[in-house]
Structure formats: structure tokens, C-alpha cells
Amino acid sequence: MSFGWHYEERRGAGVMHLAGNLGADGTGRFTGAIGWVLARAGGPLVLEVGGLLGWSPEGEAAVLDLARRLSGRSHPLALCGVGALPIRTLTANSLIPITVHADLDSALNALEADRE
């Protein structure tokens, strides 16, 4: 099973929703989708992964690469809805800024507070 995604703007942030499984076979599609999203999102980006059933080490590495790409922007990648997904690799490296939130509302609230 591969993954699906859709994008929306919410409360001044770009939100990319992922569903399915982000495995090695989907990282190219994910990278292409990120390019599309970054061309349109001018503000902070939230990656909402509550619909993901799982990700492979390659899928997690693709998310880490996205965090690296965003590290030069004013807001780091906000990740939400991780549930039981393994995120140790994502959060272990303090040189790559990423914030993890329980859900989308928490992520959007934190981003709004940062802008005030």
C-alpha cells in the first residue's frame, strides 16, 4: 500500500496531510509532493501524519530531509498526529529543527503564538 496526500491552507499555515504507508517506494512521490507544496506555501508548514499507518526508515528519512530543507526558513517543520509512529530519528538530531505536536490544532495554536 502506498501513501496519499493533500494540501490545504489553515490559519496562515500550509498543512500537508499524509495517509497510508510512506515506504521506500513512495519517497520519490513524497519528495515531488513536497516540491509542489513548498512552491505554494509562503508561511510555516505543518506535516499532519495522523492518517499514516506506518513509515519505513526511508520514509522517516524523507521527512527528516524535509525538516532540513525548511531549517533556513523562519519556522521549522511542525509535525503532528504521530501517534505510534517511530520518530526517534526525527527528534534525536538537535541541529535539524522540528517541532512535534499531538494534533493539528495544537500545531496551529503553537504557530499562531509564535507569530504574535
pLDDT tens per residue across span 29-86: 999 999 999 888 888 999 999 999 999 999 999 999 988 888 877 777 899 999 888 8
Name the pTM for this structure. 0.90
- The single residue listed with the C-alpha cell 504507508 is 21
Boundaries of domain holding 10: 3-115
User: Which residues fall within 8 angstroms of residue 71, CB to CB, at 6 or more apart?
Assistant: 96, 97
State the average pLDDT over residues 2-31. Answer: 94
CATH of the domain at 35: 3.30.750.24
Q: If we measure between CA atoms, which residue out of 96, 32, 30 comes closest to residue 69?
A: 96
Number of compact structural domains in the chain: 1
Return the percentage of the chain with pLDDT > 70, whole number: 95
Give dist(CA 14, CA 28) in Å, integer.
Answer: 21
